[in-house]
Amino acid sequence: MELIYLYVEKFNGILKKQEINFSPNFDVKIENKRLIVNKKPSYMDKLYPKSMKNITMLLGKNGSGKTTLLDILGMNWDDRCRESIKRKGRTRSEVIDSYFILYHIQSNYFGIEIMDDMEPGDKITKLFKNSLTNFNFYKMRDPFYKIPMGLVIKKNNNNFDVIKHFFNKSQLFEDEISDQIKVNYISNKYSGRIDIRSMYIGKGEENYEDDDYLGKRRYYVYPSTEREYRYLNNINNTSELHFCGNSAIIHISPNIDYGLDIENRNKEMEKWIANLENILYIDKSERINFLHLVKKKQPNKKIELENNKKIFHKRIFILDVLSSYIIYQFIKGICDMIDNDREKNNNNGININFSNNKHIEFLNNLKKKEYVQSNSNFIFGKLSNKRNEYENLINVINYYKTDKTLEDYDKLICISRYLYSRMESKIGLGTNSKYQESIEEFLNSLNFLDEAYFNKNEILIDCKSKIDEVVVKVLRVYDFYFKSEYSDLNTRFNISISNLSEGEKNFLDLISKLFDIVIQAKENQLILILLDEPDQSLHPEWSRRFIKLLCDEIKKYENRNIQIVLSTHSPFMATDIMSDHIYCLENVKNEINICSMNNKKDEIYNTFGANIYEILKDSFILERTIGEFAYNKILDLIKELNNKKAGNSNMDYEKFLINSIGELPLRKKLQYMYIENRENQLKNNLLDLIKRETSEEKLNRIREILNGDKL
């Protein structure tokens, strides 16, 4: 399965009647109002890894339309509709754009995604009427009842038959075609056509779009922290990249601020916070006692204390974070919910009664794993008032603190579960909620980390040693919940990487996204990866090596079906791509023109293995090979040198500028012009002065000088 063709009749007023062939295996064109698809021989399977179908490059200057083309390929169904279907009056809409995307599925079966108004006079409608044998324009609900739409068609000699929609299952295709085409769009900055709320972060299949009228799309905004960690270690061991990531450190920092907002500050709540800090595990005397023992430097205790110091940091860090989260749940969760409740609950609430068996049973159930996320509405009622909720919380804390069967960590977990059950009595999310589940799972994973990673306020993971699978588990949990709609794990904990340059960060971000997609790909799926200027912030040497790195890594993953379309305005990657798979884009009077590189000139222009400088010299890439500022200064210099009136020129400056020019042939030419137009002019001026001289004494002195006598 592969993407083979795009035809754009019109899009956004700037693309008209343009086409691109993406496959080395097919030649596709529109001829005499018919769709012509012919198979052709290809050697790409010998050039690229078996898992990679092809790489197509969109090459052009800024504003030439590269991102527009990627948007056409990458937009999900909702964004496609919003961009191309406009309201016309109260009851009618019109499709303002017209294009289709063609895929080869298998044998004589193809997939086609269509955006068109399907009016009788439209070119694409005429195309289908001429090319589809079972197309009936007057029965629009079959097959074009909803636009944009994906259809499976079968080639039958020179015509095509409509077989089914992308979302239909059939005996021929085990799965829906919409689930077999996975389009992943990666960009540093998406255009306004893209709603990045449809973003994706390392969660398997979950974040592809739900609509199945077309192939599934997703916008890959954030990299997986797990992949970043793995590839940081991998890149550090790739000497040819000269990647300076050995000093890189991953920071896991809590971000749990339970301080009162200025408008909500009151003495009573400040006292509650102080009391909670005192009875929980925030800055405990246990820490002070430990440091006191270290200061004493008892000879028989010193080694043992030093060995246990990191263990102690780990324990304090986790208990401190969990205690802070409990206060956060109460202040920012329960108290804010009560303050923001439009339907004020005027009852005094239910006080926890330890002689009430149902109350005790509920609290004891919170010790069990299956009660991570409970709803206490049925037993303690809805949230009532802040004072009542505070007093109940103090009673719950005291209840669990006296339970000798629980470790300190487990006591705090139970308290946190109780607070969540009170919030759930208000929000009522049920199993959709991941708030408590995500925090607990993440904290549980931190418990297994090596003590050496823990510091007083954050966890620091150094990336120069081999991969630690326990770290991988922590990052995997973080990734899993990162973009969950009902989890705040990503706002309660920040994960960042320090000691990398901006270019190194961007390179790591890109590689991590790419191979997160590749690793999770399934055997029978087409994985189409769209890269919008991936080399934008890369050093030229990394750009030059990028395609090789891509191929070397993809080679490691067998039974994948990867196809890449990338845009760039740089020539550094072009020498690794065949010229018939490089498309040059040019914006002429606000209309985008597209042509393949090998058709751009009268003679075939081969980019593969070409000298980068030769490609750079092409006027399509650069109008000239020196900076515009220097170019204009040199033009001014040439004008001055051609000016026969040397008296008004600054000859010292002219010599300085000529000797500063780095291009040797140009410098020599200007030096010759200087001699011809300046020094010779000075000689001629001097001779004229001599001829006009009438003083015999002065003339004799000039003769002496010319004969080599002393001045």
Query: Among 96-100, 127-131, 387-391, 487-491, which is the least confidently predicted range?
Result: 127-131
Can you read off the two tokens belonging to residue 608? 């593969």
pLDDT tens digit sequence for 306-359 = 556 667 788 899 999 999 999 999 999 999 999 888 666 666 678 999 999 999
- Which residue intervals of 533-650 are DSSP H helices? 540-554, 612-617, 628-641
Counting residues of the chain whose pLDDT is more than 90, the rounded percentage is: 37
Q: Domain 2-224+503-618 - what CATH class?
A: alpha beta
pLDDT tens digit sequence for 387-425 = 999 999 999 999 999 999 999 999 999 999 999 999 999
Residue 42: the pLDDT is 84
406 Cβ contact partners less than 8 Å away, ≥ 6 residues apart: 367, 400, 414
pLDDT tens digit sequence for 39-79 = 998 888 888 888 899 999 998 888 888 999 999 999 998 89
Can you read off the two tokens belonging to residue 121? 């006079």
Handedness of CA 269, 275, 280, 283 (dihedral sign): positive
The edge-to-edge listing of strands for the beta sheet with 249-254 is 459-462, 249-254, 493-498
pLDDT tens digit sequence for 451-499 = 999 988 899 998 877 899 999 999 999 999 987 889 999 999 999 999 8
Cα separation of 409 and 320, whole Å? 10
Residue 697, judged by CB atoms within 10 A of its CB (0-12, 13-18, 19+), counts as exposed
Give the type of residue at 239: S
Residue among 259, 433, 413, 204 nearest 321 (CA):
413
